Structure 1
């Protein structure tokens, strides 16, 4: 079943971590279906720089403060996401949009994914006077590590602390990340999502996220992808439709979430300096569209 994403009126941005020919050819084939598709190429992609930074560093890797050595592939993912954030929120072609939905490539979406995002954003606006929100998340299972809240009715939003997964981000949240760049860029955490979690624990970002009571995305993994270990061997059950009727209870959650032991591997000064430089850059207009 197709999703309700308005593919002919809303931009779809695909950020590719390097010139990977099969991926680029596939994206080119989608242009008729998605006329507002923009394809961006990460200029610091590890796929395009296998023998130099950011894939490799030129000074010794002494590890982070937890003793974890640098993991190049994961490190490259955080560099890609950081660059994508900066490009998205400084792009002149996107400056009329204030909120963006960030989704990795190995997720499937529900038929009502776009409606859920819109309803969640409206709910956040209504409740934001008393509760600041990080955004709308669409996976209450946190990538399959938790169960859906079946004790809740099918069509309610509820508040919970952010852990991981696809989410919306408003310009105000991006600006808060830029202000917290010294922590974001030097924290011993090589995953972008868990870096955000640590920033919520430091109160640099709001810790409350709004979730639908039924998953609107599912993490399935991809063959030869980073999350191949969760690859579904059989067809997955369809995701439920979601038509929000209310927000469950008072919009308050315990600020304390169990801190994940940091993944580390983000202790090299070259990574820190590159990250800080990206978040301080003016608009680069490095959008690369395949024509």
Structure 2
């Protein structure tokens, strides 16, 4: 059986690492995507050492995506796989299988039982001061590719553990995730998904009440959940409830079930498939963690992201300089016009060490959010406040816990210069004609390129946010009135 295959591409020799893929998948097409190409100056020497590379932490292999003929140009272009496939003849046995629900459930169970940590042989066991990065994934593979590329370029990423948490089983996504070779990786699969339960709870049961039916009519029809509309009189929609269930399940699993993380006391960072990270995000996260221990002991959440579409890159500059920079920014990025635009203004990155101390607000501080086991242990004590709160949003439910249950409310240290960006234009709530657009991604990359000299600060400057008014206890958004959702959520709680 071949260990690796030498191919020629763009007049240069590369090696396709094939051994581990065959071990897990046999002669299937997924192996071609589970690839690792290396520029070979000395083909014979490279073939002797390509199986395990101890020096992968920070080498030329992980080139920037804007470099000519780099791995990342290819990685982000799915059509490139086709050209490789056509150049490598594997004969019979090259096939793709279509899985039914029973197959998917069996595969999911196997992944969750085995808990395989990929690349642990290369990067060693997880250390307590390492960052665990948990990524919630559905099916948006285009965004996921860009997130993985941004993670690959981050300094010290080789010390991290990536936990990919799926609520949709897809072989192409699996092969993409398993192609990551710059750090340790583990996959977990939410076992109560709509995909695996399409015609029964927690999916859409044919006997469930339609969303907009009136309660008296629902009682007359005797549909399954007639007694349990939400606080706005609507009945559950599975596609909206799944995200909150998945979020709660994955956090419980990471802190309390996975062998590799169940005793980990360091930071756990939560990302989603349509996020994008700056190259110094780990540096900033660790700097914030150290600062909290010395100067903000009541801070229990760190936040690296923002939903603002305008970033001030030179915070305290004069207005004239700000206007000049804004005009120059518009000139530089005029060629790309997505549905909304990032503007590289005179900005916070002139003072990249600024962080803000503020009460945690779900709508502002839920992206690129990190906390440790101590914070989680307090949150999980309030499981009923999360699971029975009539709001289908996990972040609003977490806010409800903070306001109504926690002895010490959630307080965040927020990076004024964001290190996590939201690049998704399509999702549960947003449907557009061109969901494959990379315009927003281009904007983010330009923002980070402009800010590059302001990254990696040596220290942080704390700013206490001015709280203008006390946050009122909020009425939930509904969508979570069904007792079955409450029961499922509570059943996933591990204390």
Task: Please report the TM-score for the alignment, with normalisation by the length of structure 1.
Answer: 0.83
Alignment of 1:194-213 (within 5 A): 194-202=396-404, 204=406, 206-213=409-416
RMSD: 2.8
Confirm whether residue 263 of structure 1 aligns to residue 477 of structure 2. yes
Q: Contact 2:382/2:405 (CA < 8 Å) preserved in 1?
A: no
Residue matched to 2:247:
81
* Match 2:225 to one of 50, 60, 73: 60
Residue 71 of structure 1, aligned match among 237, 241, 244: 237
* 2:174 match: secondary structure: helix
The runs of 5 or more residues in structure 2 that have no matched partner are 1-63, 65-151, 209-223, 317-347
Residues of 1 paired with 2:371 and 2:391: CA distance?
20
1:144 pairs with 2:308? yes
Match of 2:182 among 30, 33, 46: 33
1:38-187 equivalent positions in 2, closer than 5 A: 38-56=186-204, 59-61=224-226, 62-90=228-256, 91-98=258-265, 99-129=267-297, 132-139=298-305, 141=306, 143-144=307-308, 150=315, 153-162=351-360, 163=362, 164-187=366-389
Structure with greater proportional helix content: 2
| Inter-CA distance 243–68: structure 2 relative to 1 (3 Å threshold) | farther
SS at match of 2:157: coil
Aligned residue pair count: 274
Q: CA deviation at 1:161?
A: 2.8
Higher RCO (C-alpha 8 Å, min separation 6): 1
Larger radius of gyration: 2
Tell me by how many angstroms 1:111 deviates.
1.1
* 5+ long unaligned stretches in structure 1: 282-291
Distance 1:174 1:255 in 2: 27
| Native 8 Å contact 2:358 2:464 kept in 1 | no
- Deviation (angstroms), 1:172: 1.6
> Corresponding residue for 1:17?
167
| C-alpha spacing 1:51/1:274, structure 2 compared with 1 (3 Å) | same
Deviations 1:155-182 (A, max 9, x none): 2111123222220021122111211111
Distance 1:244-1:183 versus aligned 2 partners, 3 A rule? farther
User: Conserved in 2, the CA contact under 8 Å of 1:18 and 1:43?
Assistant: no
* TM-score after normalising by structure 2: 0.51
Superposed, 1:192-231 pairs within 5 Å as 192-202=394-404, 204=406, 206-221=409-424, 225-226=427-428, 228=430
**C-alpha separation between the residues in 2 aligned to 1:109 and 1:258?**
33
> Structure 1 residues 193, 19: closer, same or farther in 2, change over 3 A?
same
Task: Determine if contact 1:127/1:251 at 8 Å carries over to the other structure.
Answer: no
